Each structure stands twice: as C-alpha cells, then as structure tokens.
C-alpha cells in the first residue's frame, strides 16, 4: 500500500477516507490541510499565495514515513502501527521538535485529527498536539485578561465587544502557529495537550513557521497574511472623541477651542447616532444641517473628520426594505428576525456578501466621502449579536458557527476597497474587532467598551502587546476607559492622566469615553435620542491636569519622525509597534516574563503607572543596552531592575542607548 505521495512540492497522505496535504507556504513555513472524503479545495480564509520559489524544498517518501523540508522547517509524517494512523512532527533546522501531534495511543485509538459529522456536510473538528514542557505562548489577538502567556489557559475563538480573536501564537520555542480557520471554537493550551476545536468546518487547516527570533517569526507570518498599509500622517497625532458630539455646533466649538489654545489636533471623531435610524448612513439634518461646511472648516484648521458607522439596519431605516429584498442582510435561522435591539429592532448587513459591501459603501460614499470625510469608525464590528447565540445566524459565506470570525475583516475590507477605488491611498478605519488579515485593509483596532478602572487599564497593556504579536500593529484604547468615569471625580482624573500617558506611547493616541453625568437628548418630534456624556476634552479635568495632558500631546508631536519610522517598519516588515520586551531582547530570559511594560518601537521602553496613588514603580531594563530616563536624563545599565520616580506628571520612559536626546526633559 502507498500511504504517501508527492504532488508537485506538496506531500500527501491518504488512509480510510482521510486526506492530509502538507506544502511549503512561505519561507521556513508549511501549510497543513486535512479532511474526510474531501479534495481540500475550500476557500482560503486568510493566507495569501506564497512567493514562488522561496527556499529549498526536499521530499523523502518511505513505506511508513515521509519527510518534507522547506528551508528551516521539516515535517516528519509517521504511521502509527495501530490502524496506520498518521502522526506529524515539526522540527526546526537543528532537528529540535517544535510541535508534535498526539499519537493514537495504540489501543486507546485516539485521533490527532478528530471529525464529528454534522448535518449539511461540515464537521465538528478537534486537532490535538502534545504539550511542550516549559513552553510560553504569546499573541492570539486581544483578550480582556491581565496576562500575556496563554500556556495553561482556555481561549475562546469568537469575537465579542472588546475581545478580538486572531488565532496566531508565537512560541518561546521558536515557531509560530496559525489556526487558519474562521469557525467559532476554542483552544486549550493544557499541560498535557494543546487542543484546537472548530464548531463547524469542512476540514483542518493550519500554518506553521520556524524562526530563530520573534521578529523572524512575525516577518514570516505577516508575509503570508498581509501587512498594514502606510500609516497616514494624521494617524501619528492626537485624536479627540467622546460619547457623543450630537450636533454640528459642538464639533466645531471643540475644534476651535483646541485651535485657540494652540493644542495640536489631528482628528475629531463624530460618534454614533448622528443619524436618525441605524442603516440610514447619513447625517441627521436636524442636528447636522450643513455637514459639508463643518468638514470644510475642520480641514481649514488642519483637522480630519472621522464618522462612526454601524452595521445594524433598523427595520424602520430608509434602506431596510431594499436591503432585505436584495438579500443583503444576515439571516436568523428561525423565529423573529431581530438580531440586536437598540433604539428599535435591528438586523446586520452581511459583510461577507460582496453585493452588500458595495451597497453600503455606495451610501457611505454619497453621504460622507463626497462631503470630505476620509476616516470611518467601524463600530459593532464583531458584529454585536444580542446574546452572542451565534448558532442562530447565517451569512452568505455560510453559517456563523463556520465563518463568523471573518465578519470584522470583511467589514474593514468594504471601506478600504471603496476608498482605494476613489483614489484615496492613506486609508485607516477604526474598528472594534478584527481577524487574520484585517491589517491589510487598514484596520485600526481599539479595545472596545471597557470600564474606567485600574484593573481594566492594566489589561489593556497586555492586550496591546498580544494583538501586535497577532499581526495587527495599529491599535488603541479609549483613553480613560469607556464606561464609568465621572469627569469631575478626582479619583477618575488620576486614572485618566495615567491612561493618557499610556496613550501618548500607543500606536494611535485617542481620547474617548462615556463620561458622567450624562444628559438626555430629545429631537423636535419628541423622540428620545441617544444620550450624551459629560465633557471629555483635555481642559475638562482641572487646570493642573490640562497642563499635564497638553505636554504629552506636544511630546507626541515631537515624536512624529520616530513614529513615522516605526509605523513604516510595520508596513514594510510586519513589526509590531507596541510589543513585549522579548521582541527586541529575545536572549534576555527575564524579558519574556514582563507583562506590565513594553517596547514602543525599537528605542523606547515604556512602564505605565497602573496603581492609584503611586509615585514610583519598579522597572526591568533588559540586558544588552544602556537606558536613559526620559524625564531626567539619568542613565542606567541594562539587566537590572530600578525604582523609577513617577509623580503624577511623569510616566517612566527609557530611551535605548542614548537615542532621541532631544526628547529628554519634555515631560
């Protein structure tokens, strides 16, 4: 019997209805697909075609073992003696095991690739690998936990408000792994096994790469999933936002006040319910009587306008009937077709449907882009199904259980491709969710509707590092958190200042939040509209704090040249902007353990103050560099901890090897 065969540069295994295909896919990388009674020809969810002719490929086929080498990675395919089942092992260039499937366990009759048939032809899938002793696992997107190492954790593969599932991890053992499957599922990074599950899928699909450094792994991963476009110049400065500027006059008054005070402002954001009904995709003329004039005046002040759009379509919207008739909406499988309740009954447009993307973009183009709007905020991008009971819903691309994680990427794709067709090249879209490849469509992920607490603040630092490693370099938080902050509360003001300092050293610096106390808005027809929060501008938190916040905006301005360099590195090579210490110092074992400080590009180490009342904090300085404290100019040798001073006006920031001396003393 011939279990193995060669197909071009690919290696195949066939046995008892299962086909496994392993093939080179990028430098030092392999793609693995497997299925039952399948030609493995399902659509490619995220991977781009690899460059032709990369690396030396070598295939060896024996009776009960086969090997495929692509540069620095090798797969060894062995037949277990019980049932001739396949076990795959992945090795690096030195022959060290990176990852190995579980064996069948002889009479245990286990399956490394387990398929449970479902009605309609898909399977519930589980893929199981042996755990590696001492391994640390990083990445996976954005989860609201105060951790970076996912070893020993259960991780949900599903999108939620403030949760972004991007199923790629970087291992401390020198490899990266992408679960190339948009299905809802889970991964368990256990002490004995690692198990990936998909609730509904046609088959197994993953990608693995070997690399000597974290940077080499990230470069290989982003080469086959795409890299962010160049960051527009307005992405480097300060963005002003709140929930919500509900009329044209408020927007202009705020921008004019920034101008009067001489505080640089790049973007002002108009949040949701500037429309009458979700799905209208236009300004409500009662509150925005002349949006073109508003946008024009903002441009004259050097300020770009960003507008929020939602994927919800209210059943009373002027576009609902046509979208329903044309089949452009997500479908509820049974019962009443209501997918979210907010100021009415709403359903979601189907972002996986190219016709739906074209329809919605045409509305955005006519009612926003042609007025001068160049930036869109793609809120509710998960999308936010009420209750997240995803088995109830279906897209054109398939049932949500099977393809649901694609939605946020296709939502960003809609705007990116629409703006590109208009001739706009500097495309950036603020979005609440993402999946593999979202970065190539200009997605700027923010961390969702989080609380204004110190605990949530600490979680954002971990989230920012994790999503950067998952290939999404453009990322931000609501400075100060979204829910629960009261503008006049001294305790909140302290939190906001500390968060603002962190925002200065984030890929995008955006002040936003739902501040208390809120007030009601009622339109001329007597209808209660979405309420508005209290003031949230840099002068809203007391004079002393205004001076502090302004200094950080000015520092951000001074950093523009550096910011341009680090964002260009994300564009050209796939380097994260906000990243863990080990990314730049992989040989320093202690750097792999740090979760409360980070590198901001290659030259800047940031240690946010994340405890109330703190006036100093312990900072680890990686070995192999000398570090200059930004505030004072004091110099420290690496490979040690120091106690850095941190009164309220100061965040401990250290410059590597004497870089950027012109910044010293600016805060």
In degrees rounded to 5, what are phi and psi of residue 412? -65, -35
pLDDT higher than 70, residue 178: yes
pLDDT higher than 90, residue 55: no
Q: With bands split at pLDDT 50, 70 and 90, how would you rate the model's confidence at 83?
A: confident
pLDDT higher than 70, residue 331: yes
- Provide the b/e sequence for 646-662 (b: ≥16 CB within 10 Å): bebbbbbbbbbeeebee
Whether the Cβ atoms of residue 508 and residue 515 lie closer than 8 Å to each other: no
pLDDT higher than 70, residue 402: yes
> Measured in whole angstroms, how far is the alpha carbon of residue 337 from the centre of its chain?
30
User: How far is residue 198's CA from residue 141's CA, in Å, rounded to a whole number?
Assistant: 17
Whether the Cβ atoms of residue 312 and residue 279 lie closer than 8 Å to each other: yes
**Residue located via tokens 């299925």:** 35
Q: What is the DSSP letter of 479?
A: B
**Per-residue pLDDT, 53:** 62
Q: Is 286 a catalytic residue?
A: no
pLDDT higher than 70, residue 313: yes
| Residues 432-489: tens digit of each pLDDT | 999 999 999 999 999 999 999 999 999 999 999 999 999 999 999 999 999 999 999 9
- The pTM assigned to this predicted structure is 0.98
Instruction: Characterize the bridge pairing of strands 267-270 and 238-240.
Output: parallel
Identified catalytic residue from 449, 489, 530, 593: 449
**Tally of helices (H runs) and strands (E runs) in the chain:** 12, 44
**Per-residue pLDDT, 333:** 94
- Among the listed residues 164, 228, 221, 230, the one whose alpha carbon sits nearest the alpha carbon of residue 48: 221
Domains of the chain in sequence order: 4-225 (2.60.40.1760), 233-573 (3.20.20.80), 580-663 (2.60.40.1180)
Q: What is the mean pLDDT of the chain?
A: 97
As a residue count, the chain comes to: 667
| Residues 189-216: tens digit of each pLDDT | 999 999 999 999 999 999 999 999 999 9
* Alpha-carbon distances of 336 from 321, 326, 392, 398, rounded to whole Å: 16, 19, 11, 20
| Residues 516-575: tens digit of each pLDDT | 999 999 999 999 999 999 999 999 999 999 999 999 999 999 999 999 999 999 999 999
Half-sphere exposure of residue 398, counting CA atoms within 13 Å on the CB side? 19
Identified catalytic residue from 78, 379, 588, 596: 379
| Residues 613-633: tens digit of each pLDDT | 999 999 999 999 999 999 999
pLDDT higher than 90, residue 163: yes
Identified catalytic residue from 78, 101, 382, 596: 382
* Alpha-carbon distances of 546 from 12, 39, 55, 310, rounded to whole Å: 64, 63, 56, 33
Q: How far apart are the first and last CA of the chain?
A: 73
Q: Which two tokens stand for residue 89?
A: 């092992």
| Residues 213-234: tens digit of each pLDDT | 999 999 999 999 999 999 999 9
Q: Is 49 a catalytic residue?
A: no
Q: Is 382 a catalytic residue?
A: yes
Q: Which two tokens stand for residue 445?
A: 């992920």
pLDDT higher than 70, residue 20: yes
pLDDT higher than 80, residue 54: no
**Per-residue pLDDT, 160:** 98
Beta bridge partners of residue 598, listed in sequence order: 606
Question: Residues 357-380: what's their mean pLDDT?
Answer: 98
**Per-residue pLDDT, 50:** 84
């Amino acid at each position: 019997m011939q279990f193995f065969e060669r197909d071009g540069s690919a290696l195949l295994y066939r046995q008892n209805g299962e086909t496994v295909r392993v093939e080179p896919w990028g430098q030092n990388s392999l793609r693995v697909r497997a299925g039952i009674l399948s030609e493995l020809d399902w659509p490619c969810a995220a991977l781009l075609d690899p460059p032709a002719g990369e690396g030396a490929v070598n295939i060896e086929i024996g009776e009960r073992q086969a090997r495929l080498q692509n540069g620095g990675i090798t797969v060894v395919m062995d037949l277990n003696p019980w049932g001739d089942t396949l076990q795959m092992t992945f090795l690096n260039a030195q022959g060290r095991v990176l990852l190995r499937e579980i064996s069948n366990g002889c009479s245990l009759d286990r399956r490394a690739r387990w398929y449970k048939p479902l009605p309609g032809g898909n399977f519930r899938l589980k893929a199981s690998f042996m755990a590696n002793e001492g391994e640390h696992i990083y990445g996976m997107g954005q989860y609201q936990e105060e951790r970076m190492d996912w070893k020993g954790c259960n991780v949900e593969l599903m999108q939620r408000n403030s949760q972004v599932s991007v199923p790629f991890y970087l291992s401390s053992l020198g490899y990266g792994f992408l679960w190339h499957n948009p299905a809802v599922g889970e991964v368990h990074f256990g002490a004995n096994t690692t198990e990936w599950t998909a609730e509904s899928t046609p088959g197994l699909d993953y990608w693995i790469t070997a690399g000597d450094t974290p940077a080499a792994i990230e470069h290989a991963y982003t080469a086959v999933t795409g890299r962010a476009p160049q960051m527009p110049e307005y992405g480097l400065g300060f963005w002003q936002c709140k929930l919500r500027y509900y009329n044209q006059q408020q927007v202009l008054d705020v921008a004019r006040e920034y101008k009067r005070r001489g505080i640089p402002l790049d973007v002002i954001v108009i949040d949701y319910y500037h429309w009458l009904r979700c799905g209208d995709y236009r300004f409500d003329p009662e509150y925005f009587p002349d949006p073109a004039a508003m946008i024009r005046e903002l441009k004259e002040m050097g300020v770009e306008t960003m507008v929020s759009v939602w994927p919800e379509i209210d059943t009373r919207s002027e576009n609902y009937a046509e979208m329903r008739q044309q089949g452009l909406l997500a479908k509820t499988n049974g019962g009443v077709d209501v997918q979210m309740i907010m100021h009415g009954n709403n359903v979601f447009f189907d972002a996986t449907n190219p016709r739906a993307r074209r329809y919605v973009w045409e509305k955005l183009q006519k009612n926003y882009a042609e007025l001068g709007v160049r930036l869109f905020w793609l809120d509710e991008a998960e999308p936010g199904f009420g209750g997240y009971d995803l088995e109830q819903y279906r897209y054109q691309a398939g049932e949500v259980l099977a393809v649901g994680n694609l939605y946020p990427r296709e939502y960003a794709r809609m705007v990116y491709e629409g703006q590109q067709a208009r001739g706009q090249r500097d495309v950036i879209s603020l979005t609440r969710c993402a999946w593999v490849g979202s970065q190539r469509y200009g997605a700027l992920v923010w961390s969702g509707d989080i609380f204004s607490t110190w605990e949530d603040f600490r979680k954002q630092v971990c989230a920012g590092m994790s999503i950067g490693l998952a290939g999404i370099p453009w990322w931000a938080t609501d400075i100060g958190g979204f829910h629960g902050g009261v503008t006049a509360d001294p305790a909140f003001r302290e939190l906001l200042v500390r968060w603002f300092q962190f925002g200065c050293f984030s890929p995008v610096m955006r002040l936003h939040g739902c501040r208390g106390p809120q007030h009601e808005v009622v339109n001329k027809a007597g209808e209660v509209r979405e309420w508005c929060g209290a003031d949230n501008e840099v002068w809203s938190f007391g004079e002393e704090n205004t001076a502090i916040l302004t200094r950080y905006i000015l520092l951000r301005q001074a950093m523009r040249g550096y910011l341009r360099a680090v964002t260009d590195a994300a564009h050209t090579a796939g380097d994260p902007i906000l990243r863990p210490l080990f990314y730049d110092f992989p040989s320093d074992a202690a750097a792999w353990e740090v979760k409360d400080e980070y590198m901001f590009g290659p030259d800047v180490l940031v240690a946010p103050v994340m405890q109330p009342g703190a006036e100093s904090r312990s900072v680890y300085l990686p070995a192999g560099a000398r570090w200059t404290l930004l505030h004072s100019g004091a110099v420290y040798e690496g490979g040690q901890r120091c106690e850095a001073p941190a009164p309220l006006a100061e965040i401990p920031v250290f410059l590597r090897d004497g870089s950027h001396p012109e910044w010293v003393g600016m805060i």
